[in-house]
Amino acid sequence: MEKTNFEKIEAAEKRKALIGKVVTYFFLSLWGLIVLFPFYWMILTSIKSYGSYNAEYVPKFFTLTPTLQNYSDAFTEVSLGRYFFNTIIFTVLTTAAMVVIITLAAFAFARLKFKGKNLVFTLFLSLMMIPNELVIITNFVTITNMDLRNSFMGLILPSITSVFYIYLLKENFEQIPEELYKAAKVDGTSDFKYLIRVMIPICQPTIVTITILKVIECWNSYVWPRLITDDETYYLVSNGIQEIRENGFGRENIPAMMAAVVVISLPLIILFLVFRKKIMAGVSRGGTKG
């Protein structure tokens, strides 16, 4: 009797666990679908021809006659190529300049000794609390007065320093043992050479993470470019896609618009799939969107 009782308990427990598992996987998959569906839909729509898309009152979930016409339209009928190219230049220049500037600053805070260092660092930290929305007004006026509207300089200048990344990198630099610096000093290594040959290689993972996060930020930036450019030749992809939406193909050409969306989204998705672990670790260490 005893034994069968145990068996019953065991079977009931197993059933409960199984049901729990099925429910969990069901809801997780459901949310996965909600996340993925827009991506599927944009790819699907982008390979439907203009005619067939507009003929579908009830949209089809697949297409038997895929076409790349929309992609060629996206590059020829509107200046998607131009926006794309601009964004690459903007992203590369901004990220490169920022990495240089924050590395120098983080090195000064982490390694060099000078009067007022702690005070300046505290001031830097307090700058983290200033919201972008507050300073963008004056920056807009400043850039306008400097006659830098519709130029890469105007786009890049305000976003090439980040207090947060200086802080992140400084923390990382400080984890390098003091002895390494002393050893290098004894061997006659200059501060700058020590930074280049020892600190940067050791902290490379953090610098790569910062670079990737900045690239994502640059690629998606919308507000500042929108304020500072009204000449289409300097549009980035975000304002580009908005421009396409509002004045795009001369008619409501949704498949071509979706092709443009795919082209814009793809670089970051590829970047994410390649550096998945790094990006997720970096974001959980203190990145927030935007």
Partner 1 sequence: MKVNKLKGWLYLLPAILFLGVFLVYPLIDVVIYSFEENYNFASQTYTGVGFYNFSYVLHDPYFLQALKNTFILVIITVPLSTGLALIISLGLSSIKKLQDLFQTVYFLPYVTNTLAVGLVFMILFKKTAYSDGLINLLINFFGGESVDFIEGPYWAKMFVLCFYTIWIVLPFKILILTSALASVNKDYYKAAKIDATPKWRVFTKITLPMISPMIFYLVITGFIGAFKAYSDSVALFGTNLNVAGMNTIVGYVYDMLYGNSGGYPSYASAAALILFVIVLTITCINLMVSKKSKISVN
Partner 2 sequence: MKVTLEHLTKRFPNRNKKIKADVVAVNDFTFEIPDGILVGLLGPSGCGKSTALNLISGLETPTEGKIYFDDDDVTMLPPENRGIGLVFQNYALYPHLTVLQNIMFPLQNFKGDKKMTKLAMEEKAREAARLVQIDELLERKPSEMSGGQQQRVAIARALVKQPNVLLLDEPLSNLDARLRLQTREEIRRIQRETGVTTIFVTHDQEEAMSISDLIVVMKDGVLQQIGKPQNVYDDPENLFVAKFLGTPAINVFEGKIKYGCLFIGNENVMELACKKDLEKDVYIGIRPEGFILNLDGALSLELQNVEVMGRDTSVVSKHENALSGNIRSIINAEDWINSESKLVRFDLKPKKVFVFDKETEKRIYFDKK
- Residue that is written with structure tokens 């507000």 in the block: 223
CB 225 within 8 A of CB 155: yes
- Nearest distance from C-beta of residue 278 to partner 2, angstroms: 18
Q: What does the longest C-alpha to C-alpha distance in the chain come to?
A: 91
Tell me which of partner 1, partner 2, none is bound by residue 54, counting a contact when its beta carbon lies within the kind-specific cut-off of 5 to 8 angstroms: partner 1
The least CB distance from residue 276 to partner 1, in Å, is: 6
Least CB distance from residue 158 to partner 1, whole Å? 4
Residue 203 or 218 with smaller CB distance to partner 2:
203
Would you tell me the crossing angle of helices 80-110 and 254-274 to the nearest 10 degrees? 30
What does the alpha-carbon distance between residue 263 and residue 269 come to, in Å, rounded to a whole number?
10
DSSP-derived secondary structure for 212-234:
HHHHHHHHH--HHHHHH--SGGG
CA 136 to CA 65: how far, in whole Å?
48
What is the 8-class DSSP label of residue 116? T
Contact assessment for residue 65 and residue 47, using Cβ atoms and an 8 Å cutoff? no
Q: Which is nearer to partner 1, 143 or 206 (CB)?
A: 143
- Minimum distance, C-beta of residue 110 to partner 2, in the bound complex (Å): 16
Q: Which does 179 bind (CB under 5 to 8 A by kind): partner 2, partner 1, none?
A: partner 2
* Residue 182 interacting partner from partner 2, partner 1, none (CB closer than 5 to 8 Å by kind): partner 2
Residue 219 binding target from partner 1, partner 2, none, CB below 5 to 8 Å by type: partner 1
25 binds, among partner 2, partner 1, none (CB under 5 to 8 A by kind): partner 1
Least Cβ distance, residue 194 to partner 2 (angstroms):
10
DSSP code, position 47: T
- Residue 269: name its binding partner from partner 2, partner 1, none (Cβ under 5 to 8 Å by kind): partner 1
> Hey, what amino acid is at 209?
T
Per the structure block, which two tokens stand in for 272?
A: 């994410």
**Percent of the chain as helix, strand, coil, to the nearest 5:** 75, 0, 25
Q: Which is nearer to partner 2, 177 or 290 (CB)?
A: 177
Compute the least distance from the CB of residue 200 to partner 2, in Å. Answer: 9
Contacts of 176 (CB under 8 A, 6+ apart): 198, 199, 202, 203
The binding site for partner 2 (CB under 8 A) comprises: 177, 179-180, 182-189, 193, 197-198, 201-202, 204
- What's the closest the beta carbon of residue 133 comes to partner 2, in angstroms? 41
Taking the C-alpha atoms of residue 78 and residue 131, their distance in angstroms, rounded to an integer, is 35
Q: Which among partner 1, partner 2, none contacts residue 187 (Cβ within 5 to 8 A by kind)?
A: partner 2
What are the C-alpha distances in Å from 261 to residues 80, 212, 221? 10, 21, 15
